[in-house]
Amino acid sequence: MASNAPPPEATGAVLVKSVEMPEGSQKVEELDFDKFRGRPITAEDLYEGMKNMGFQASSVGEAIRIINDMRAWRDPETGEGTTIFLGYTSNMISSGLRGIFRYLVQHKHVACVVSTAGGIEEDFIKCLGDTYLSSFAARGADLRAQGLNRIGNLVVPNANYCAFEDWVVPILDRMLAEQEASRGTDHEIHWTPSKVIHRLGREIDDERSVYYWAYKNDIPVFCPALTDGSLGDMLYFHTFRAAPRQLRIDIVEDIRRINTLAVRAKRAGMIILGGGVVKHHIANACLMRNGAESAVYINTAQEFDGSDAGARPDEAVSWGKIKVGADHVKVYVEATTCFPLIVANTFAKGA
């Protein structure tokens, strides 16, 4: 005789009895736009509505909380705040995020910046010519024939790089002359990447520039891979122009400078957009103090190839680059999508 009851094996598999959730467990919350009827929706409204939404919305919420904790902390004896290391890759400067980085440096919200060569030169190039929106699908061969260079869905006319050459080469000439004139004196000039960037920030004299404000506020900008871009091209061509003399740029002095900044920090915080040399250069500096107390990573790289770019913060804990028990989060979101919301709820809040 057939039974009307489902098989007990199926019932046992599907209707597994759950345990009681621990007291204080956070419930998933929903963003209800009806709550904002009759008034504008603010960046804080979005943050409050998203932080318990789950997935990467909650990671963005964690990043906001951690950064606000970085900003609020003060050493009980000296009153010093967190030394915040900001890192970003060159594509970020090419995008409209450049204005946010400029804001952070102009208002002294960070202690130092680490970027790649493109993240330096593109800032100056944008003072000399515009970058334009294009498409990720724009054909490389067609763009090459038109003298246009694609960065994702942006294009930069090659004329901008020609303008950069016209601007930067005379500066390199003057820097070389100063270097040679100082030889054998008590004030011999040793150029480093951070000193080169400081000088270029002074020379650009343009308030749109991130590095103009870094120069004005004496915020060091480190670029261990300074030659990996158009600036490297200019330095290469300059070796022929200036022969047999040559501009010398010392990376050893800069590694001492950034590591010392980390060692002397009362508390260290890392905000790193993207991966590669930028991410590791900051993390390795914090190793010198047995790790940063807080860290926010923002990138879309995965960890499964073993690269540092995709590594989660916990891997840095194993190296001593982030302290055991430190506050950290990795946000798996493309930075232009989330960093404006993060800054609006942290550094720019109440500005």
Residues 174 and 191: their CA atoms lie apart, in Å, by 12
Q: How many CB atoms lie within 10 A of CB 144?
A: 12
Order of strands, edge to edge, in the sheet holding 132-133?
132-133, 154-157, 148-151
Residues 346 and 296: their CA atoms lie apart, in Å, by 13
- Are 125 and 230 in contact by the 8 Å Cβ rule? The answer is yes
List the alpha helices (DSSP H) in 115-205: 117-128, 140-146, 158-181, 193-204
Residues 160 and 122: their CA atoms lie apart, in Å, by 10
- Are 44 and 345 in contact by the 8 Å Cβ rule? The answer is yes
Task: Read off φ and ψ for residue 339, nearest 5 degrees.
Answer: -65, -35
Could you list the active site residues?
A: 321
- Are 85 and 284 in contact by the 8 Å Cβ rule? The answer is no
Residues 245 and 175: their CA atoms lie apart, in Å, by 12
Helices (H) then strands (E): counts for the chain: 15, 9
Residues 244 and 264: their CA atoms lie apart, in Å, by 41
Sign of CA dihedral 23, 24, 26, 31: positive
What is 229-268 written as a DSSP string? Answer: SHHHHHHHHHHHHHTT----B-HHHHHHHHHHHHHH-SSE
Residues 87 and 262: their CA atoms lie apart, in Å, by 14
Long-range CB contacts (within 8 A, 24+) of 310-315? 310/275
What's the gap between Cα 85 and its chain centre? 9
In 3D space, the residue among 299, 287, 281 whose CA is nearest the CA of residue 326 turns out to be 287
